[in-house]
Structure 1
Amino acid sequence: MKSLLLDSPLKIFLLDAIGAIITALILGIVFTTFQEYIGMPREILISLSLIAVVFCIYSFSCFFMLKRNWKPFLKAIAIANLLYCVATTVLIIALSHQLTIVGLLYFMGEIIVIGFLVYFEFLVLNRIKNS
């Protein structure tokens, strides 16, 4: 997967968009329906879901519309993803008393997955910068 993303850097936008729509659906539909099993307040789940929708639209737009000069757009989504992870971490800490084990495991897993994506996004940016 690493070489695929490095050889076709625009595909990272597609990967980002697919991940964002999955996150939006899980948070906005599944977790709001079963909020008591997660522990994260419904309003926060909806807010995080809406952020994921914006990231999805942005990344799909970049994937389909950009042909060149995509580096600043990739840097923007990498930073946005990183900030999303920071915000999620802050929420986990602030709301740890009400999160269930399922909620805690999900959000920690989400941070790990997005963290790997951010790593690949910066890897692509650095590879292009250094070549």
Structure 2
Amino acid sequence: MFIQKAINHLKSSPKKLFWIDGLGALCSAFLLAVVLANLESIFGIPSNALYFLATFPIIFSIYDFACYNLIKDNYSSALKCIAGANTIYCVLSIGVAFTHKVSLTKLGWAYLVFEIFIVLTLAYIEFKIATESSLKQY
């Protein structure tokens, strides 16, 4: 129900999705590269794996803010692109989690599962809005 409300709200201004995604990506990058990397013993994810993961949200935020500022109409393909990129990022995160499953703590699993849930939910919303025929009007 929340997701449908979000979709209905954002249909009228799909450009906001780039802003939301970009801010979320910056938060992810900060959490991965600064917070979790300095608390490796608590989360159990090696810092080099966290830095690797953090590069993707940094790239995504640049893309998102560029789209927000440069695209004037028909956001469909740009939204599909970031939705796909977010999905691939989640697959990579799962790969990192299972690669380090021996050292990953419960808190590390909780963080990764929560982040993947949030990112996949956002990707779903982006894809749904991108495929709406009414998007071409904006």
1:12-54 Cα offsets, whole Å, 9 max, x none, are: 1111001000001101111111111111111110111121111
Identity of aligned residues (%): 31
Q: For 2:101, which of 93, 96, 101 is the aligned residue?
A: 96
Partner of 1:11: 16
Supply the AA of the counterpart residue of 2:63.
Y
1:49-97 Cα offsets, whole Å, 9 max, x none, are: 1211111111011111110242221111111000001111122122111
Q: Secondary structure at the match of 1:98?
A: coil
Question: Structure 1 stretches (4+) deviating beyond 3 angstroms?
Answer: none
Equivalent pair of 2:76/2:135 in contact (CA under 8 Å):
no
Partner of 2:3: none
Equivalent pair of 2:86/2:119 in contact (CA under 8 Å):
yes
**TM-score, with normalisation over the residues of structure 2?**
0.89
Q: For 1:77, which of 65, 78, 82 is the aligned residue?
A: 82
Q: Secondary structure at the match of 1:96?
A: coil
Task: Give the number of aligned pairs.
Answer: 131
Supply the AA of the counterpart residue of 1:85.
C
Q: How far 1:6 sits from its partner (Å)? A: 1.4
What is the CA–CA distance in structure 2 between the aligned matches of 1:41 and 1:129, rounded to whole Å? 45
Alignment of 1:5-84 (within 5 A): 5-84=10-89
Equivalent pair of 2:129/2:135 in contact (CA under 8 Å):
no
Supply the AA of the counterpart residue of 1:71.
S
**TM-score, with normalisation over the residues of structure 1?**
0.93
Partner of 1:124: 129
Equivalent pair of 2:87/2:120 in contact (CA under 8 Å):
yes
- Alignment gaps of 5+ in structure 1: none
Supply the AA of the counterpart residue of 2:111.
Y
What is the CA–CA distance in structure 2 between the aligned matches of 1:49 and 1:87, rounded to whole Å? 11
Compute the RMSD of aligned alpha carbons: 1.6
